[in-house]
Amino acid sequence: MFPFVNAWKEFEREGLESRLRGDWRKLSAAELKPGTVRLTGEFTRTPAVGNYLILRHSKRDHAGIFIQESSNVSLENVTIYHTAGLGVLSQFTRNLNYRNVKVIPNSAKNRYLSGHDDGFHISNCAGKITISECEFGGLMDDPINVHGTSVKIIEKITDHQLKCRFMHEQSTGMNWGHPNDTISFIKHKSMQTLSTGSLKRFEKLNPEEFLVEFKNAIPDGIVVGDALENLSWSPEVTIQNCRFGSCRARGLLISTPRKVIVAKNEFESSGSAILIAGDANGWYESGAVSDVTITNNLFKDGCMTSMYQFCEGIISVYPIIPEVDSLKPFHRNITIEHNTFNAFDYPVLYALSVDGLKFNNNRIVRSHQFEPFHSRKHCLTFEACLNVEVTGNQFEGDVLAKDIHIEKMDNRQLNSDLK
């Protein structure tokens, strides 16, 4: 018996991911004889004969490469064929350079799975991160995830001291704070930052909980349940000339308040090619962006062939905000320009809570490689955004929708040449 199967995906023989869906929590597996396994569960779509079913049936236990509390680290000309956890995990490290690093299955051994989780997981790093000429495929999670870590306030001890908790089991035990770090105080329901403070002391109580003491008084309005974010450990990021092949989840997750450039990459991820999230309510992966440029990338028709969390478009800007304030957006200054989207389905871009979003001079080409299935039936959707600009885009072929849909925002906040 295989009692724990926590992720499963079907891959077409050609290497593009198919849309096998169901609830893995209700899935069980039994070996009938050597080489033959019976899966039992509630399938919304049965696999096709000749395709490959990839199973992940254990928790992540260790990374292939672990970089911690270091500086000026370079990885070049490295190929990782398999890991039982994250491929390369980097945290609290300053200045990273990854060039020609591949996290891919070993085709010489007829392998289709390369890694149990993310390819590059970059958590709470600082300085400059440069990722170039890298390749990803066959991962059971995201090729690249760059983010900070929000922590929950569980007790206010004094006007200067708070007791906090790591809210995700895979982020426990970190040295989250350091003297003189700049910390933001976040209202968890609105995700608004009230102010920032300078850290005086960080003290671990146990792997899950710690004390923080600030040089100045904690701002009024911050209560138990709200969150903190360490702004000092957030990097500038450049990702260029990389290939994001078919993986279980999405392509690139990027959440950092510093400058981000995503240029000249090729995406073929099964979910959203790029996800810009940020939250202090679910995964607690922090980082409201303030300067992102996505330019000269190719989004192939393998994108959005499968649904996963937050996959509302080929590019999905989807922070978790329980109480959205349309006049106080979470993200700022996102420019998407001079890209090519080979779209087989409707949604190309979904953006929630952004002030200053440009979608200009992009090329959208209809693909017939897959059947449309997404619940969103608009090309571009903007929700609770300010200062949106959509101009100069070209549509080729029978693109399913050449329109813009807005929600929870004044149409005067949209400047567009689409009729």
**What span, in angstroms and rounded, lies between the C-alpha atoms of 28 and 47?**
16
Domain locations in the chain as residue ranges: 7-56, 65-137+234-416, 149-230
What residue type is assigned to position 97 of the chain?
N
Secondary structure string (H, E, C) spanning 246-279: CCCCCCEEECCCCCEEEECCEECCCCCCEEECCC
Place of tokens 């990885």: 75
What radius of gyration, in Å, describes the C-alpha atoms of the chain? 22
The pTM score is 0.93
Convert the pLDDT of each residue in 38-58 to its tens digit.
Answer: 888 777 767 778 777 777 767
- Residue 299's nearest CA partner among 235, 372, 348 is 348
| CA of residue 87 relative to chain centroid, distance | 16
Query: Would you say residue 415 has pLDDT above 50?
Result: yes
Q: Quickly list DSSP for 112-143.
A: ---BSS-SEEEES-EEEEEEES-EE-SBSS-S
Convert the pLDDT of each residue in 203-262 to its tens digit.
Answer: 999 999 999 999 999 999 999 999 999 999 999 999 999 999 988 899 999 999 999 999
Express the helix, strand and coil content of the chain in percent, nearest 5 each: 5, 45, 50
Contact 16, 268 (CB under 8 A): yes
Query: Would you say residue 27 has pLDDT above 80?
Result: no
Torsion of CA 345, 349, 353, 356, to 10 degrees: -160
Contact 147, 256 (CB under 8 A): yes
Note the CATH number of domain 149-230: 2.40.30.10
Convert the pLDDT of each residue in 135-190 to its tens digit.
Answer: 999 998 999 999 999 999 999 999 999 999 999 877 788 899 999 999 999 999 99
**What span, in angstroms and rounded, lies between the C-alpha atoms of 275 and 271?**
9
Instruction: Report pLDDT for 155.
Output: 97
Higher pLDDT, 37 or 160: 160
